[in-house]
Amino acid sequence: MLPPARHWLGGSCFSGVLFGCGIAASMIDLFIFHLALQWHHFYDLSTSEVALTADGFFHAFGWFITVWGLFLLADIRRRAQVHWARWSGAVLTGVGFFQLFDGVVFHKLLGIHQIRYGVDLFVYDLTWIGSAVVLLIIGLLILRRTRPAQVPA
């Protein structure tokens, strides 16, 4: 028997979006772009102090929500069954949303760092922002298809 519907903060959707935003902010950038491809490094020395401060807070917040999202998932698992399809959709939504935010705010508006150096950035920016929008749309579609059934009053 499942427990009664709980607050949205405890739901798999919230956990998945947090985890998705978190891995997009912390792990994907670190493991793929810094360590594997080495397209950009942790600091390119061109950043203004305001942007550096903003970057520090987003760095801390990214890891925080990654761990928070996973512990919320563990909490849901021990209380009820996890709707994995819905959770996965929420993760994709989170990754897409954060990547879009990163591409527009960090790369373009604040200019903290670029995706790659010494190349024509337009193609990279287009791929980055385009793939973010695609991920976001797929995630939102999955979330829509897996909406909990309306309980008749």
Show the binding pattern over residues 63-82: x = contacts other proteins (CB under 8 A), - = does not: xx--xx--x--xx--xx---
Q: According to the binding rule CB under 8 A, does residue 105 interact with other proteins?
A: no
Q: Work out whether 53 is an interface residue with other proteins (CB under 8 A).
A: yes
User: Using the rule CB under 8 A, is 117 a contact of other proteins?
Assistant: no
**Distance (Å, whole) CA 82 – CA 73:** 8
Is 101 one of the binding residues for other proteins (CB under 8 A)?
no
Q: Which residues contact 41 (CB under 8 A, 6 or more apart)?
A: 34
Of 68 and 124, CB closest to other proteins: 68
- Closest distance of CB 129 from other proteins, Å: 25
Q: Which is nearer to other proteins, 79 or 145 (CB)?
A: 79
Residues 6+ apart with CB under 8 A from 129: 99, 100, 103, 104
Contact 95, 20 (CB under 8 A): yes
For residue 5, state whether it binds other proteins (rule: CB under 8 A).
no
Residue 83 burial by CB count (10 A; 0-12/13-18/19+): exposed, middle or buried? middle
* 8 A C-beta contact, residue 16 and residue 82: no
| Site residues for other proteins per CB under 8 A | 42-43, 45, 47, 52-53, 55-57, 59-61, 63-64, 67-68, 71, 74-75, 78-79
